[in-house]
Chain A
Amino acid sequence: MKATVWTAAVMLGISIAVVIAVVPQFGVMHQEEAIKKGAGVTAVKPLSDYFPGLKGTAGDTEVYWLDSGQAGGTVVILGGTHPNEPSGLITAVMLIENARPAKGRLIVIPRANASGFTHTDYSEGSPQRFSLPTPAGERWFRFGSRATNPIHQWPDPDIYVHPSGQRLSGSETRNLNRAYPGRPDGNLTEQDAYGIVQLIRAEKADIAIDLHEASPEYPVINAMVAHDRAMEIAATAVIELQLDGIEIGLEPSPKSLRGLSHREWGDATETLAILVESANPAQGRLRGATSAELVVSGEDQMYARAAKLGRLFVPFEGKGIPLSVRVARHMATIKELIRTFSEITPDRAIELNGVPSYADMVKQGIGSFL
């Protein structure tokens, strides 16, 4: 068949039809998952309260306050710095919906990079959502991208130059965990980072914890990365967790790697900055098809094989590394860090009730607490 103006018009029509057909699918990622305000929540504020430049932008995000009303310390918890690391979001949501502080305050940002939740990473074949069974039925959450959505911050430079002078790949300009301490006149991701640092500073957070996941073949996995001043409580917490049967490592925050929360929060504020990693097969390079089932179950044949060959830095047996275990690890780590801090500084103690135990989360599944 010969190409003519009419065949071109038909092809153009098909292109337009495809665009119209896929628009709703992209729109799905802009629907926010529901987060219920638990009995401990005393206020919900936008991050733009701490940096008005974020108001009305895709970088503004909800901050949940759980204030006991009793004197004590303040903990800031971040989930969703990387929206393709679901245990951070789910741990933050579980705290919001279950924690009841009896002393001190908990400030939780479940979707630190709100823009990152509005898209998925190209060429990764990621699901847009995953579901967890709960007593009230299936509950869905978005599985987003590691970085800010390029429609909110674009174009990427060839090289991302951090204010410290550090040079990284240009795409890292949309990585919130390379943007700290942020800049009020920077790009959207840097402004997001700036807002979070302003919050930590304004609220005089005693501890600030950034929840993450990483590939099972990544060496810094099932570990904490602690700022210099946070090493004491982190080291004590690691020992206690290991005595409880939760294997976890500790790495010092490298001074030469800039832009990350564990370095910059500690340098820019008085907080004890700690980043926590768990192992997520759904974001690793060895995985098979990236399905919602893989996100939740953590079961993958390729990783099981890699484990047998000794290529992983974490155990990977039988049932893989389910999301319930990853969330349980984060929750146990948060509880132990708070407990250790409260023991060392009793005048700034923080006491949390209502938070499920590691054993309960692993046995009953995290859906039971959502």
Chain B
Amino acid sequence: MMTLIYRLLVVLVTLLVVLELFSQKDLKSQATAALVLIPFVLRALMIA
């Protein structure tokens, strides 16, 4: 149950980072959001 809750949290944070990516007005910040997204997606998919 705890693992399921944490996976849902990871998916939520992933979506928030995607929203952040599209709301940023600065290229560097967009790149940072895109980079941060990678480990979150890998964890949400239980790959790494």
Contacts and interface: CB of A to CB of B under 8 A. Distances in A.
Contact of B30 (A3, A19, A155): A3
- What DSSP secondary structure best describes chain B's contact surface? helix
Contacts, number: 54
A12 B18 contact: yes
Interface string A15-39: 1101100110010000000000000
Contact of A3 (B3, B24, B43): B24
A151 B22 contact: no
A232 to B, nearest CB: 45
Nearest to A122: B48
B34 A11 contact: yes
Nearest to B21: A8
Contacts of A1: 27
A140 interface: no
Bin chain A's interface residue count.
20 to 34
A329 interface: no
A298 to B, nearest CB: 29
B42 to A, nearest CB: 6
B7 to A, nearest CB: 9
B13 interface: no
A14 B34 CA distance: 8
B41 to A, nearest CB: 5
Contacts of A151: 43, 46-48
A8 B6 contact: no
B30 A8 contact: yes
Interface string A101-128: 0000000000000000001000000000
Given A3-B25, A119-B48, A15 B41 contact: yes
B6 A19 contact: no
A18 B37 CA distance: 10
B38 A3 contact: no
A23 B27 CA distance: 27
Interface string B15-48: 0001001101111011101110110011101111
Given A22-B42, A151-B48, A15 B34 contact: yes
Contact of B27 (A3, A5, A26, A119): A3
B47 A26 contact: yes
B37 to A, nearest CB: 5
Nearest to A153: B3
Contacts of B29: 3
A119 B34 CA distance: 24
Contacts of A22: 42, 48
A7 interface: yes
A11 B35 CA distance: 9
Nearest to B18: A12
Given A8-B21, A151-B43, A15 B38 contact: yes
Complex A-B, nearest 3 residue pairs according to Cβ-Cβ distance, in ascending order: A11-B34, A8-B22, A151-B46
17 contacts: A2-B25, A3-B24, A3-B25, A3-B30, A7-B30, A12-B18, A12-B21, A15-B34, A15-B35, A15-B37, A15-B41, A18-B38, A19-B41, A22-B48, A26-B42, A119-B48, A155-B6
Interface of B: 2-3, 6, 18, 21-22, 24-27, 29-31, 33-35, 37-38, 41-43, 45-48
